[in-house]
Amino acid sequence: MSGTCVSVDLLRRLLHSLEEDLPRAVMLREQLHASPEPSHEERATSGLVAEALGIRGVERVVRTGLLAQVGPPGKAVAVRAELDALPIQEETGSPFAAKNGLMHACGHDVHMAALVALFLAAGQIEGSLPKPLAALFQPSEEAYPSGADLVVKEGALAEGTGAVVAAHVHPEVPWGSVSVEAGPVNASSDNLRIVVEGSGGHGAYPHRAHDPILALSHAVVTLQSLISRRLGPMHAAVFSVGWVRAGSAENVIPGAAEAGGTLRALDPEDRESLRKMACEIVENTARAHGCAARVEVTEGEPATVNDPALAQAARSLLPEAGFELAPAMRSCGSDDFGFYGLTSPTLMLFVGLEGAPGTPNVPLHHPRFLPTSEAVWAVARAQALAFVAASGGDVML
């Protein structure tokens, strides 16, 4: 990066202000965790956030989202946090556990509370901010249509936003460290629905039918070679089948069979070729069994790609924010944060939870997933350093 310098003093001042707001942020996190809402229905959640922000002029975006800005005129650095919860029955036993069949099992409650604290801290030193901070509380990260896709398509962020940054807790990153890698860090995600059509018949006379179950079974098995034999071994991707449906009786060969799966690619340039090859494998395998097949692709999130200059600037600020650099971590998980990369430089940080005191050793989306309250402070510090990294030029140490 070049141009005006990113001041370590700015990060220090933000962190000092953040400490003052931490107790309120922890209380807000518990309120948010106890009352989760599903994607696109986060009205009470955004109401709690708006009340905590305590300012006029909070803008509604894509129905249930919020956008609040502080700082000087100019291209803003947007900091994203997610509003929605998952349809999971919580099993944490926490005093503030949700009881409505929904759950913040991906850390969104922590992200929101941290961003509120960061926004308030930025307001305390507004005159020192080199660029405006836009706090984006985004709906529907967990379901389609993706909230980030809607934010981009509806132009909810100001044209020419300088960068979009975020921090996400992760149980596979060590506590006290942050993963900051340049390039792709989360995979693209597409859903495939495979439909094989044959001709049904009696189970005792399979030679008089064209069995779509057999054709589909071979197609599913052959698709495993899509990654192992059709993609370079240094490229990360995954294909997984999540459901299969066919038939209704043991002695009847049905006329059709279906399956659904997810196709993910870490490198953006692999995405389209993998989809094309998947369709060819399914169609040709079905044809070999006397059946016809089609693949319906529901396009999901693009890969999340970290801007190299932003990643380097953030790495330089880690010690000042009290973090170590985590071992390299890239994932075939996906996040709709990738949509922001279509219009702006982006940076996603992964904040460690592994080994955090009082935090269950379970993965994301688990019914016992419950980050420690100290994770609010950790995420807020990571959001602050990401904002500072994206606010100017070379880091002065």
**330-363, pLDDT tens digit by residue?**
999 999 999 999 999 999 999 999 999 999 999 9
- Please give the CATH number for the structural domain made up of 188-299: 3.30.70.360
Output the pTM of the full model: 0.93
Q: Where in the chain is the domain with CATH 3.40.630.10?
A: 6-186+303-396
pLDDT in tens, 30-88: 999 999 999 999 999 999 999 999 977 799 999 999 999 999 999 999 999 999 999 99
Q: Are 24 and 373 contacting, i.e. CB atoms less than 8 angstroms apart?
A: no
The dihedrals phi and psi of 257, each to the nearest 5 degrees, come to -145, 150
Q: Are 78 and 165 contacting, i.e. CB atoms less than 8 angstroms apart?
A: yes
- By DSSP bridging, strand 395-396 and strand 59-61 are unpaired
Query: Facing residues of 52 across strands?
Result: none
> What pLDDT was estimated at residue 76?
96
Mean pLDDT over each residue of the chain, to the nearest integer: 95
- By DSSP bridging, strand 292-299 and strand 59-61 are unpaired
Query: How far apart (Å, rounded) are the C-alpha atoms in residues 383 and 56?
Result: 23
Query: How far apart (Å, rounded) are the C-alpha atoms in residues 44 and 78?
Result: 23
Beta strands across the sheet bearing 133-138: 59-61, 65-70, 133-138, 77-82, 163-174, 346-354, 177-179, 324-325
Q: Where in the chain is the domain with CATH 3.30.70.360?
A: 188-299
Query: How far apart (Å, rounded) are the C-alpha atoms in residues 44 and 23?
Result: 21
Query: How far apart (Å, rounded) are the C-alpha atoms in residues 146 and 61?
Result: 13
Question: Which residues neighbour 356 within 8 Å (Cβ) at sequence distance 6 or greater?
Answer: 175, 371, 372, 374, 375
Would the pLDDT of 160 be above 90?
Answer: no
In this prediction, residue 298 has a pLDDT band, given cuts at 50, 70 and 90, of: very high
Mean pLDDT, range 172-194, rounded to an integer: 98
Verify cis geometry, omega within 30 degrees of 0, for the bond prior to 145. Answer: yes
Question: Pick the residue with more confidence: 136 or 394?
Answer: 136
Q: How many Cβ atoms from other residues are within 10 Å of residue 154's Cβ?
A: 12
The secondary structure element, H or E, covering residue 135 is strand 133-138
The domain 6-186+303-396 having CATH identifier 1.10.760.10: the answer here is no
> What pLDDT was estimated at residue 3?
37
Q: At 193, is the secondary structure helix, strand, or coil?
A: strand
Q: Are 194 and 258 contacting, i.e. CB atoms less than 8 angstroms apart?
A: yes
Q: Are 70 and 387 contacting, i.e. CB atoms less than 8 angstroms apart?
A: no
